[in-house]
Structure 1
């Protein structure tokens, strides 16, 4: 016959019950800690997934702003968006990275300069511009120095937003070397945007260049987009009536662009 198990004393039974209770409490504490640790990444992945599948602009804006509110923590989710097949999703990913200041965000933005979609490349360039990171600025200067690079014009546009001595020197050097037309336009625009006084002689020389611009500089394209958004906004918007029938006047030639940059630098309207 098998021996029967000894019946625990009331004190031992109570101790066992206490141990089980403490183990359960410990498990709950660990589970709650894990939720707190992984809550933001889980939310970010979910919002990014919703952003890719939503067809309504209101919901797209909702999930975009949710992700943007995470700031640095949005970078991994933005990276997943940048790998999406649809260019409009990748544009959202690149734009989200404007709100992040991490090495991962900078790496993703630099990679975004090679995206096949022009909108993604432009969003990546502007994201790099708002980072104001010395390493990023140096990388952009190296890209601009090589006129054979397909991203030289975008690098000039980004440097024209960053400003600073290094950016100014790179833009001046590029204009001195007579860059390709598209690059020259972005360089001239950038020198005006950051008010580089040393550029005045070079810009005055550019007044003799009457070649038409292949496309408006990136700053003008962004302004056009913002202007169009105002015009297509709610009819009750206070600005709608004032903007009705208005349009932006943009320079059409290198000389006109140089004249605008000179006005920005010198403050003289007669150039």
Structure 2
């Protein structure tokens, strides 16, 4: 495997679909407000979202390799990193340069929208950059911040940032969409930390799986997953979301299956991998169906 392939793998391209889905929620809100944005601004928003996600992944891969965590982690298809740097250690510098370069492009796009939209973009953009820079080295040492930071980055920062960048307003629908994304992404990172518990502990991390234990964390996973669906129902009943948003509730049955199956799967790697895979599918499908439901 060449260094360039290692860099691509370190960006974790299989998971980069999450960013355009979060940006897509912002686009759906803009359309619902009757403010169809220009194609150029739409493309910039989606490119910026994907680059921001890639930057997080690249810098995370580099930090985990340098700290030695990569050598201790039991990798699964959904957690533990790509494994590219343990295979080609010489690619570490290239991954770091790619992470910094990708983040610089995100900042450049953000500065354009700051010039266009003003102060709200500065607040959200600065928060997003701060989360990217501090996540692996500092945020992962604080259990509460480690839970909230991923959801904040993909929810309020990315969804609401997309809404503002596209020239729409921050209404109740935008806030609900951002909160749904926040709950789902925080839940995703929390459940994916379960198989990494022992390696993360040795590397000095302190997330809720370590401080509460995997079984208590699994109950919080269930709370976050069901809260995201409950919020969609509540927003529909109060007229904040259109009735078409009920499409997102099609993922409720597999979400319930996850909440029931997870506690018993913790000590069985094959069962846990099935739960983790289903969870990824539920998250992506929920966001995609919510976008479709809002856009109808």
**Higher-helix-fraction structure:** 2
Structure with more relative contact order (C-alpha pairs < 8 Å, separation 6 or more): 2
Query: Would you say same fold, with TM above 0.5?
Result: no
What TM-score, normalized to structure 2? 0.27
Instruction: Answer with 1 or 2: which has the greater Rg.
Output: 1
